[in-house]
Structure 1
Amino acid sequence: MRFQILDIIFNPPHPVTGDVVAPAERLNRVVEMAVLAEQLGIDSYSVGERHAGDVLSSSPIVVLGAIAQATERILLSTGVTVLSVLDPVRVAEDLCTVDQLSRGRLEIVIGKGNEVLQYPLFGLDIGKQYDYLTENYELLRRLLREEHVDWSGEYRAALADVTTLPRPFDGPFRIWHGSATSARAVDLAAKWGDPIVTANALQPRENYKVLIDRYREHYAAHGHDPAKAYVGSGSGGLFLADTTEKAIEEYRPIYEGAVRQADKRKHDPGAVGKTTSFRTIEEAVERGPALVGSPDRVAEKILDYHECFGHVLQSVSVNHVLDFERQKDTLRRFAEEVVPLVRAEVPPTTLWSESDTERARGFTADSPVGSR
């Protein structure tokens, strides 16, 4: 199994103390955590994108550019590139710049995003979010693969003889599709033979498994090699302590405070995937996606995910409200104590190996951490 750290760069007030981390400090912590992740042998570091709310990830490409210059080996990713609200020409230019700066260490995840306020902000109709996603993806795909592109669509001006610069470092980088609530995202991935990352963050895992099963079925129906139907999984946050009981008690005020903060948004109760289905820390740990507990318990839970999803990439997020030294210690313990336990039980994956011909060419972690 491969492992990724994801930071959406949330920066609300601390749910217990009300303290706020200065934006410059929060952003520089992202870069520092990426450097540490590389040192620890984590395969990939992913930066989210949102354009509303208490988040600092409105310009993930800039952050990835900083990480590219601070690191040498780790694969860079997005989680997700909110392609529904973006211009594919600009996206191609920005992403290929990072691909060049990192010398071919970029893969991305695309999606429509999980923030409803982004659509009015960009003057777009949220009812057409998947239509935008489909059209923008299919244009982006061509721009990365072709030069002198002629194109016309429904939602942006036509293109004539367009070649975006810079070009990708060594051929088009892999595009994953983020999947959380809708069949349309997995159907788009299956049509084009792309991998998916299931959010696995706010709902019971059974809800995500339905979409994963649909993806694999449609992927094969389109004639693609099932061996390349890679699936990644997110999680509901990572918090480690020596015992699971201690982890739950330490994390309880943070989790309950975060639920209260989310409640203030007053999402439509019928809006699936906007708020957590698990109101208490006990529910989140026992039945939900939260990776809270001892290293042994967290490894066991990831293996439970694997039994359900059959995924080959596990993405985790270290809670940003922890003291920064605690964040770094959590990442170290995850790499040194959890990852080896998981890899000892899961068969090796071809993802990002030498045999994976579509991998980011600059990625060199062919002997992943925890596999020795």
Structure 2
Amino acid sequence: MKFLAITLIVHAPDPVTGVLKPTGARFREVLDNALLAEELGFDGFGVGERHERPFISSSPPVVLSHIAALTSRIRLFTAVTTLSLLDPVRAYEDYATLDHLSRGRLELIIGKGNGAAQRDLFHVTPEDQWDRNAESYEVFRKLWRQDKVTAATRFRPGLVDAEVWPRPLQQPIRVWHGSATSKESVDLAARYGDPLFSANVTNPIDPYAELIGYYRDRWEHHGHDPARIAVGAGTAGYYAAPTSQEATSAYRPVFEGQLAFQKRLGLQPVFTTLEDFVERSSALIGSPQQIIEKVHRYHERFGHTVLHLHADAGGLTDRQHRDSLTLFQSAIAPVLRREIPDPPFPWGPVQAGPPPLPVSADR
């Protein structure tokens, strides 16, 4: 099994202290968390894309380019690239450039994106967002694979023998399809034989398991080899401590702060108590053994071989955050790596990267 640390770069007051960090300090925190993930042995680091409050993750290629310069081993993910909002030609140019700057460590997770505010910002409607996502991906996919592209399009000017530069390093790049609640993204992934990444963060397990089952059915319908399926899954939260009592005690103020924040945003929480959150959500909170057992329970339903944890402290102290991630890599990841298989494809850079720069002294 492989493990990613992912951030959506939420810029909001700390759920426990109420302190709002300056924008620059929040970006510096993201960079430091990427360095920490590589130091501890995570296999990938992902940066989301959102174009609305409370996120400042509107430009993942820029953030990931900076991370690429600071790291040498860890694979770099988008989580997700919102192709329904983007011109696929411009998206291709950004990511082909990043592919070279990262020396072949880039992977994409694509999706239509969430949120009415960002749809309005880009003049995308609920009625056309899925068609935009599918069209943008088809064009993006051709641009990555072909030196000259001709494409008739609805949502941008058509292309006739178009040449777009630079040509990428990886041929082809691996593209995952982010899946939350809809069959459209699942259908698109299965049609092209691409891996699926289940969000798996908002609801109990059943709707996500149903979509993954549907993906497997559609994969075989399109004639792909079942042995080549790869599924990733997210987690709603993470905190490990030597005992379950220590873990829940430390995480309780974080959960209560996040609950209050959701209510201020006008959201209706799915899990209203920490006990229910630990029991029925995908959150991994408890002792190492409890977390190992829970990942196995989800694996029985999903068959996933990649798992993501939150890269951000999110209300934990810096020491709690680091200690918990260290415990994951020392006591949890080795067991899961041994007991759950890896994805059915190579994992590593196309070219060896440069030595990492020194970690900042302020971390």
TM-score in terms of structure 1 length = 0.90
Is it true that 1:281 corresponds to 2:274 in the alignment? yes
Aligned residue for 2:335?
A: 341
Q: Give the superposition deviation at 1:99.
A: 0.5
Q: Give the superposition deviation at 1:147.
A: 1.7
Partners of 1:325 and 1:127 lie apart in 2 by 46
Is it true that 1:324 corresponds to 2:344 in the alignment? no
| 1:1-372 alignment runs, 5 A limit | 1-267=1-267, 276-318=269-311, 319-353=313-347, 361-362=350-351
CA gap 1:114/1:362 in 2 versus in 1, 3 angstroms: farther
Partners of 1:293 and 1:363 lie apart in 2 by 37
Confirm or deny: 8 A CA contact 1:112 1:129 kept in the other structure: yes
Partners of 1:25 and 1:251 lie apart in 2 by 24
The residue type equivalent to 2:83 in the other structure is L
Query: Cα deviation per residue 1:110-156 (whole Å; 9 max; x = unaligned)?
Result: 00112222100112213321111111111111111112211121111
Partners of 2:351 and 2:277 lie apart in 1 by 37
The residue type equivalent to 2:4 in the other structure is Q
Partners of 2:201 and 2:153 lie apart in 1 by 34
Aligned residue for 1:356?
A: none
Larger deviation: 102-111 or 343-352? 343-352
Partners of 1:90 and 1:349 lie apart in 2 by 30
Q: Give the superposition deviation at 1:205.
A: 0.7
Larger deviation: 186-195 or 109-118? 109-118
Partners of 1:156 and 1:348 lie apart in 2 by 39
Where in structure 1 do 4 or more consecutive aligned residues deviate above 6 Å? none
Partners of 2:40 and 2:56 lie apart in 1 by 25
Confirm or deny: 8 A CA contact 1:48 1:79 kept in the other structure: yes
Query: Cα deviation per residue 1:342-363 (whole Å; 9 max; x = unaligned)?
Result: 223224543435xxxxx76348
Confirm or deny: 8 A CA contact 2:73 2:349 kept in the other structure: no
Confirm or deny: 8 A CA contact 2:306 2:343 kept in the other structure: no
CA gap 1:339/1:261 in 2 versus in 1, 3 angstroms: same
Q: In the comparison of the two structures, how many residue pairs are matched?
A: 352
Partners of 1:276 and 1:82 lie apart in 2 by 25
Partner of 2:224, secondary structure, is coil
The residue type equivalent to 2:72 in the other structure is E
Partner of 1:126, secondary structure, is coil
Q: Give the superposition deviation at 1:167.
A: 1.4
Q: Give the superposition deviation at 1:108.
A: 0.5
Partners of 1:255 and 1:185 lie apart in 2 by 30
TM-score in terms of structure 2 length = 0.92
Partners of 2:249 and 2:319 lie apart in 1 by 19
Partners of 2:141 and 2:49 lie apart in 1 by 20
CA gap 1:112/1:55 in 2 versus in 1, 3 angstroms: same
Query: Cα deviation per residue 1:318-344 (whole Å; 9 max; x = unaligned)?
Result: 443322333222222211121012223
Confirm or deny: 8 A CA contact 2:263 2:269 kept in the other structure: no
Q: Give the superposition deviation at 1:168.
A: 1.1
Partners of 2:216 and 2:161 lie apart in 1 by 36
Confirm or deny: 8 A CA contact 1:80 1:111 kept in the other structure: yes
Q: Give the superposition deviation at 1:264.
A: 2.7
Partner of 1:99, secondary structure, is helix
Alignment gaps of 5+ in structure 2? 354-363
Q: Give the superposition deviation at 1:96.
A: 0.9
Partners of 1:10 and 1:60 lie apart in 2 by 13
Q: Please tell me the root mean square deviation across aligned C-alpha atoms, in Å.
A: 1.7
